[in-house]
Amino acid sequence: MPDAGKPFGGIHHVTALASDPMRNVVFYTQVLGLRLVKRTVNFDDPNTWHLYYGDGAGGPGTILTFFPFPGLPAGRHGNGQAVETAFLVRPASLSFWIDRLVTQRIEFEGPTERFGQKVIRFRDPDGLQIEIVADAKAKVAAGWDGMPVPAEHALAGFHSVTLWEQGYERTAQILTEALGFRTAGEEGSRFRFVSGRGDGTPGHIVDIRCSPDFWRGAPGAGTVHHVAFRAADDAEELQTRERLAAAGQNVTPVLDRKYFRSIYFREPGGVLFEVATDPPGFAVDEPAASLGGKLQLPRWLEPRRDEIAAKLPELAPEAG
């Protein structure tokens, strides 16, 4: 079991699938005001971008990443997926975001109330379901030069992800016994779990929404590929791996993702989970002040830099 006195668990990042890379960059940087903190490639398919967006520091709990495959058909939301990805703002910022969505001609629903908090929801250009949740304990996001959204209104990392599942007990067991979450309440068919990192900390909530008669989801543009959870360091990750293996999960060995080290497994409901270490972080290969400015590659792909760069779809120009 996780150490109850340790700020264990929480969401590290969420990775989704997209189609048009340029459109993806414009929406998440210019409309939602996130920082492009890393432009790299899918290490398993280096002819595909892997784009990371987050707060100014690229902190764990703020990172939404994409594999954009040009022309990728739309996926289908359904059971066995993380469907709703929610961001934190302070309550005073909710009206700012409503006005911004109206100005950007983005259709939205809400505000509605969930677990006592106001929620608005909309979709990105590929149909990914995004929410903004007002939380009085939300912290101000780390900023950077040239922020397109005023710092006091910026998205302050993740509020939560919502898993759509046929049932919830076995997934709940993995969350609570292996990943550092605890049961925190329910509303109708929605069950809430929180990590030990505390209210207002980015990414400390996972909801399970049970819909036993709904169809299974199908991967494609606008769907989440996987959800990654935090491990403070390599030792904590190995301990988590031991707990998962003891629970009967089929877990990968530790894989080097350059910015973190990861293990992967598919939870009982079918969602692909990752556990990623907080270190070394995104400043390991470029200064914090210029994150996301240039194409970065792992050392084993550096000999192919020119070939890879020539095949990647066009993005915004590199900085400098």
pLDDT digits (tens, 9 = 90+) for 161-173: 999 999 999 999 9
| Span 11-80+136-311 CATH architecture | Roll (3.10)
State the pLDDT at residue 196.
80
**What is the pLDDT, as a whole number, of residue 317?**
73
Q: pLDDT value at position 9?
A: 79
pLDDT of residue 4: 41
Exposure string over 165-194, b if 16+ CB within 10 A, otherwise e: bbebeebbebbbebbbbeeeeeeeeebbbb
pLDDT of residue 198: 66
Closest CA to 67 of 278, 313, 306, 235: 313
pTM for the model: 0.95
Low-confidence ranges of the chain (pLDDT < 70): 1-8, 197-199, 319-320
Could you tell me which of 21, 13, 139 has the C-alpha nearest to residue 64?
Answer: 13
Residue 5's pLDDT is what? 40
